[in-house]
Chain A
Amino acid sequence: MFAVGLPSTDSDTYWQLATGRWILDHGAFLRQDIFSSTVSGTRYGIGEWLGQVAFAGAFDVAGWAGIVILRALLVATAAFFVIRLARRGGAAWWVTLPLAVAALLVSKITWTDRPHLFTLALFPVLLELLLSLPAGASRRLFVFPPLLLVWSYLHGGYLIGLAVLAIFAAHAILVSGRAGLPLAATTIVSAALTLLNPAPLELAGAAREDFLSPPRFLSEFLPPDVLTPAGFLFAALVLLVLGTAMLRGGSLLEALLLGPLLYLAFVAQRHMIFFSFAAPVFLAPRLASLLDGRRFELAPQIRVPTAVALFVVALVMIATAPTAPDQRVYPTGALATLRADSGVLLNEYDWGGYLIFTLPERPVFIDGRYVPYLGGVLDDYRTMVGLRPGWRALVDKYRVSELLLEPERPLAVALREDGWRVRASDASGRWIVLARP
């Protein structure tokens, strides 16, 4: 319900849609850059091709409402399984519900219209499947290889899924000895199957980079800040897990699973969801045991009306779902001016995706895909926009003829002083278009 009521705002949505649309139109993988003026022709990631196609398909079918509904479905899937995970220990609803809601609120920072949402949905599905797995050989094991294969087409988060599968396999061997071997074999088969991805090592390489040297200039890759709402809830879950485990003890599986997921969460705040989704599995029963004797159950006579009311609200939310993205943060007013001009455009990083989608005739300088720009273009972009030594030579080297930047950028200030013409500007001071004199 909440997810469906949120308009699309993420800047990466646009280039993901553009990529998905190209794949659908051409019936082939988009293996090289066609959107930029700086890295045109360079190879870049195709690891999320199915996720991009899914979003583009939803857009083609129902426009922005299709995107919103797809997002809502994925978030709803995540919510359903997170609540199931929290209820596994049989704790009362008033213990499990706050924990699940807290975990979902932590995840809200990742409710962006990107293939990442598939990982948001599939991670709790995987946990639920693994936790309900009987010891030893089981037909349910056959679910995992295809699940991981499809996941690998959807989003790079499948690597975390593989790691979790490996953790459960290690735990099964440690606890049950030979009975754990079928799950270990399943893990190996799943890992092998993901190599059928058209770019099997590319995602592993990108994930390694994200893990070892996260791009801190992107807010989602910043470490968790406990003074933000999501960070505070994450910290609360960490403290509760630690505090209750100290009081009641835990399990080997908890140590093996939550330890790595907690480390991952500290690497970047976008990874907080994995710990937050897994923590209630262990936390709920411990909290329930600490609060033993304090029973509060919903009266049977109000359960059905509550469910009906929630269903009606959900229908209303779907009916009133936003049919257009929130573009207030984008330079919508600059498009007409830019469309009339030509030459190399130096654009704000955060607006690159938006321009790819709305102004395909003007290749971008840089955009949220960031990986193709690492090393050269990204550094040059920062040098120019931040007015670092050598900026002027770079402006000439790239033959920049026009800028679309926030007016307070040092480069925008300097070039205005140097006589570049103001082609257009936002009345509320959010963007400015400058052209060479």
Chain B
Amino acid sequence: MSGRTSWSIPFLCGGIFGALSTVATVGDSDLFWHLAQGRQTLSEGLARVDQFSWTVPGMPVLTDQWLGQVAWYGAYAGLGWTGIILLRSLLVAGIATLIVAAALRAQPRPIVAVLAALPAITLTRFAWTERPQLMGLFCFTLLLFLLRVAWERPRVLIAVPPLILLWANLHASFVLGLALALIAMVILGLRRAELRTMLAVIAGASLAATLLTPSGAAIWTSASGHFLSPPRMVLEEGVPDVAQPYGVVFVLIILASLVTAALGRPVPLFEVALMVPVLFVSMTAARHTPFFAVASAPYLAARSPEAVAAIAAGLRIRLRLPALRPSVPPVAVDVVTALLAIVAVFGGAATARAAPNLDPYPLGALSSLPSGPGLLNDYDWGGFLIWYAPATPVFIDGRLFPYTGDALRDYDTVVAVGPTWREVLARRGIRTLLVKPGSPLAVRARDLGWSIVSEATRYVVFMVPNSLSARLD
């Protein structure tokens, strides 16, 4: 597509979805430890070892999201919970804007482009969390937009190394972006020999940019670990499940792509290279499903009308889209639309409930938790405790990787009442349990008549009897 592209519709969609995202409550279980780590980085410098748990204190922790954590904490420090909502809605608005813009580049008919972009935006809804992950999705959307523009204007690839540099410091998903950028540059180089030197320099700079992080070369370890061996015990790292709403949307997008490919006109290898590798990554874990949705939106926008027309022809239905492209409005209209979108996002954030939703957390238990080591907490509540009960170090939390090994194994043994659960309680010196009432550990502790310090529908706090450790000793 040549000529100026109107950004009015992308901005409009971005504003709408950005404003809509402010309705979603804040309270992702990992948000709290990200905030705590961001605060620590700003006040004491980058934390390379654990300071929040009593099970792995001093052990190395991942630093691959340090900039994202700082950004989230910065938003919180500046505007409180409203800042978190605002940053999230700005990112959502940015993602929606770029998805629609990419679709409009491929399909000039606005209605078709927006319809094709809607499933992708819908699927990103499952990633509207207050975590660096959302920044990674924004970077991915921006990169794909740049790569598609680069097919006609290769010079825009100059923006790739700085984007990769930023992304590598925000979130580990940069690996996917780098791989895609390299594949795209190879295909572009095969097509246009005169660009090969420039592409080689950009590719080298992009690779080098990934090393400019506090983790250095180790950043690749954590990123590849996530992609190749996702911890399936975490819900979002599970296999995409078509029995869940997000899974239905994901699979329908794959089916739409397949049907479109079968019935639409062929496309260049470049387009295939931007979609097929992303599909594999998306199939590895539920949290990765938005990637393919974003990558396929422009393709669906461009080619799905052909597939629909082919099916309609089979049904003897005459279907013809208007051949005329709509006129591109003046730049002033784009500017006004952008301003309106910003107003909508800021207005939405300003009027949103400026407090996290703590319903899923054991808020009422905080006053009964002892300070110092000795608490065994539910995995899902670790981040919450790091933020709201800093005097009580956690047994485990959503950072997961520092705990891989003995700590995680011991946690699993105790909460599942495994054969050596009492031995672990004694060896670890666990004095207090903060668990869900329906968990096997809570049921067993109640059976044994252990003293309950605090209790509500969602949680129960038990004191571990002193006699337990004495008997085992």
User: Looking at the complex, which one of B247, B416, B419 makes contact with A407 (CB distance below 8 Å)?
Assistant: B419
Q: Known contacts A226-B284, A239-B276, A249-B266; is A259 also within 8 Å of B259 by CB?
A: yes
| Shortest CB distance B465–A (Å) | 14
Q: List 12 A-B contacts (CB under 8 A).
A: A174-B315, A222-B239, A242-B257, A243-B272, A243-B275, A246-B272, A247-B269, A249-B264, A249-B266, A252-B310, A388-B443, A389-B443
| Shortest CB distance A303–B (Å) | 35
When the two chains form their complex, are residues B262 and A389 in contact, meaning their CB atoms are under 8 A apart? no
Q: Number of A residues contacting the other chain (C-beta, 8 Å)?
A: 45
Quick one: CB contact mask for B59-73 with A, threshold 8 Å, 1 for yes? 000000000000000
When the two chains form their complex, are residues B271 and A223 in contact, meaning their CB atoms are under 8 A apart? no
When the two chains form their complex, are residues A387 and B269 in contact, meaning their CB atoms are under 8 A apart? no
Q: Known contacts A216-B243, A223-B239; is A387 also within 8 Å of B419 by CB?
A: no
A266: B residues at CB distance < 8 A: 240, 242, 247, 251, 254
Top-5 shortest CB links A-B: A250-B262, A245-B261, A174-B314, A387-B440, A410-B417
Interface residues of A in 27-50 (CB under 8 A from B): none
Asked if A254 lies at the interface with its beta carbon under 8 angstroms from chain B, I say: yes
Asked if B155 lies at the interface with its beta carbon under 8 angstroms from chain A, I say: no
B315: A residues at CB distance < 8 A: 174
When the two chains form their complex, are residues A389 and B438 in contact, meaning their CB atoms are under 8 A apart? yes
User: Looking at the complex, which one of B255, B275, B314 makes contact with A175 (CB distance below 8 Å)?
Assistant: B314
When the two chains form their complex, are residues B267 and A246 in contact, meaning their CB atoms are under 8 A apart? yes
Distance A213 CA – B241 CA, assembled complex (angstroms): 11
A249: B residues at CB distance < 8 A: 261-266
When the two chains form their complex, are residues B255 and A262 in contact, meaning their CB atoms are under 8 A apart? yes
When the two chains form their complex, are residues A414 and B279 in contact, meaning their CB atoms are under 8 A apart? no
When the two chains form their complex, are residues B276 and A414 in contact, meaning their CB atoms are under 8 A apart? no
B307: A residues at CB distance < 8 A: 255
Q: Known contacts A174-B314, A246-B272; is A413 also within 8 Å of B267 by CB?
A: no
Asked if A188 lies at the interface with its beta carbon under 8 angstroms from chain B, I say: no
Distance A156 CA – B452 CA, assembled complex (angstroms): 52
When the two chains form their complex, are residues A250 and B263 in contact, meaning their CB atoms are under 8 A apart? yes
User: Looking at the complex, which one of A243, A259, A388 makes contact with B440 (CB distance below 8 Å)?
Assistant: A388
When the two chains form their complex, are residues B444 and A238 in contact, meaning their CB atoms are under 8 A apart? no
Closest Cβ neighbor of B261 among chain A residues: A245
Q: Known contacts A227-B284, A266-B251; is A410 also within 8 Å of B440 by CB?
A: yes
B275: A residues at CB distance < 8 A: 242-243, 246
User: Looking at the complex, which one of A216, A263, A412 makes contact with B255 (CB distance below 8 Å)?
Assistant: A263
Asked if A75 lies at the interface with its beta carbon under 8 angstroms from chain B, I say: no
When the two chains form their complex, are residues A242 and B276 in contact, meaning their CB atoms are under 8 A apart? yes
Quick one: CB contact mask for A249-275 with B, threshold 8 Å, 1 for yes? 111101100110011001100000000
A391: B residues at CB distance < 8 A: 443
Quick one: CB contact mask for A386-422 with B, threshold 8 Å, 1 for yes? 1111011000000000000001101011100000000
Closest Cβ neighbor of A406 among chain B residues: B419
Asked if A20 lies at the interface with its beta carbon under 8 angstroms from chain B, I say: no
Distance A255 CA – B260 CA, assembled complex (angstroms): 8
Quick one: CB contact mask for B253-293 with A, threshold 8 Å, 1 for yes? 01101110111111101011001100110011000000000
Closest Cβ neighbor of A232 among chain B residues: B280
When the two chains form their complex, are residues A414 and B264 in contact, meaning their CB atoms are under 8 A apart? no
Distance A239 CA – B257 CA, assembled complex (angstroms): 11
A413: B residues at CB distance < 8 A: 417-419, 421
A238: B residues at CB distance < 8 A: 254, 279, 283
Asked if A248 lies at the interface with its beta carbon under 8 angstroms from chain B, I say: yes
Asked if A356 lies at the interface with its beta carbon under 8 angstroms from chain B, I say: no
A262: B residues at CB distance < 8 A: 251, 254-255, 258
| Shortest CB distance B368–A (Å) | 22
Quick one: CB contact mask for B296-314 with A, threshold 8 Å, 1 for yes? 0001000000010011001
Asked if A224 lies at the interface with its beta carbon under 8 angstroms from chain B, I say: yes
Asked if B447 lies at the interface with its beta carbon under 8 angstroms from chain A, I say: yes
Distance A243 CA – B258 CA, assembled complex (angstroms): 9
Besides A255-B307, A267-B242, A389-B438, 8 more A-B contacts (Cβ < 8 Å) are A216-B243, A225-B239, A242-B254, A245-B262, A252-B263, A258-B262, A262-B251, A388-B443
A412: B residues at CB distance < 8 A: 419
When the two chains form their complex, are residues A414 and B314 in contact, meaning their CB atoms are under 8 A apart? no
Distance A214 CA – B244 CA, assembled complex (angstroms): 11
Query: For the complex, would chain B's binding face be called helix, strand, loop or mixed by DSSP majority?
Result: helix
Asked if B214 lies at the interface with its beta carbon under 8 angstroms from chain A, I say: no
Tell me the A residues contacting B by CB distance below 8 Å.
174-175, 213-214, 216, 222-227, 235, 238-239, 241-243, 245-252, 254-255, 258-259, 262-263, 266-267, 386-389, 391-392, 407-408, 410, 412-414
A407: B residues at CB distance < 8 A: 419
B276: A residues at CB distance < 8 A: 239, 242-243, 246
When the two chains form their complex, are residues A245 and B258 in contact, meaning their CB atoms are under 8 A apart? yes
A225: B residues at CB distance < 8 A: 239
Q: Known contacts A252-B314, A410-B440; is A226 also within 8 Å of B417 by CB?
A: no
A242: B residues at CB distance < 8 A: 254, 257-258, 261, 275-276, 279
User: Looking at the complex, which one of B266, B283, B416, B438 makes contact with A226 (CB distance below 8 Å)?
Assistant: B283
| Shortest CB distance A312–B (Å) | 40
User: Which residue of A239, A246, A410 has the most chain B CB atoms within 10 A of its CB atom?
Assistant: A246
Interface residues of B in 143-199 (CB under 8 A from A): none
| Shortest CB distance B445–A (Å) | 11
Distance A392 CA – B417 CA, assembled complex (angstroms): 15
B417: A residues at CB distance < 8 A: 387, 410, 413-414
Interface residues of B in 302-353 (CB under 8 A from A): 307, 310-311, 314-315
Asked if B27 lies at the interface with its beta carbon under 8 angstroms from chain A, I say: no
Closest Cβ neighbor of A236 among chain B residues: B280
B314: A residues at CB distance < 8 A: 174-175, 252
A254: B residues at CB distance < 8 A: 262
Asked if B472 lies at the interface with its beta carbon under 8 angstroms from chain A, I say: no
Distance A235 CA – B288 CA, assembled complex (angstroms): 15
B447: A residues at CB distance < 8 A: 392, 414
| Shortest CB distance A69–B (Å) | 35
Asked if B437 lies at the interface with its beta carbon under 8 angstroms from chain A, I say: yes
When the two chains form their complex, are residues A250 and B261 in contact, meaning their CB atoms are under 8 A apart? yes
Asked if B466 lies at the interface with its beta carbon under 8 angstroms from chain A, I say: no
| Shortest CB distance A344–B (Å) | 21
Asked if B229 lies at the interface with its beta carbon under 8 angstroms from chain A, I say: yes
Distance A413 CA – B441 CA, assembled complex (angstroms): 11
Closest Cβ neighbor of A391 among chain B residues: B443
When the two chains form their complex, are residues B255 and A247 in contact, meaning their CB atoms are under 8 A apart? no
Asked if B233 lies at the interface with its beta carbon under 8 angstroms from chain A, I say: no
Distance A263 CA – B307 CA, assembled complex (angstroms): 18
Closest Cβ neighbor of A267 among chain B residues: B242
| Shortest CB distance B421–A (Å) | 7
| Shortest CB distance A213–B (Å) | 7
When the two chains form their complex, are residues A259 and B255 in contact, meaning their CB atoms are under 8 A apart? yes
When the two chains form their complex, are residues A248 and B239 in contact, meaning their CB atoms are under 8 A apart? no
When the two chains form their complex, are residues B266 and A247 in contact, meaning their CB atoms are under 8 A apart? yes
Closest Cβ neighbor of A385 among chain B residues: B440
When the two chains form their complex, are residues A235 and B266 in contact, meaning their CB atoms are under 8 A apart? no
Distance A242 CA – B296 CA, assembled complex (angstroms): 12
Closest Cβ neighbor of A390 among chain B residues: B443
When the two chains form their complex, are residues B262 and A251 in contact, meaning their CB atoms are under 8 A apart? yes
| Shortest CB distance A394–B (Å) | 12
User: Which residue of A223, A248, A259 has the most chain B CB atoms within 10 A of its CB atom?
Assistant: A223
Distance A144 CA – B356 CA, assembled complex (angstroms): 61
B284: A residues at CB distance < 8 A: 226-227
Quick one: CB contact mask for B223-258 with A, threshold 8 Å, 1 for yes? 000001110000000011111000100010011011
When the two chains form their complex, are residues A247 and B267 in contact, meaning their CB atoms are under 8 A apart? yes
| Shortest CB distance B256–A (Å) | 9
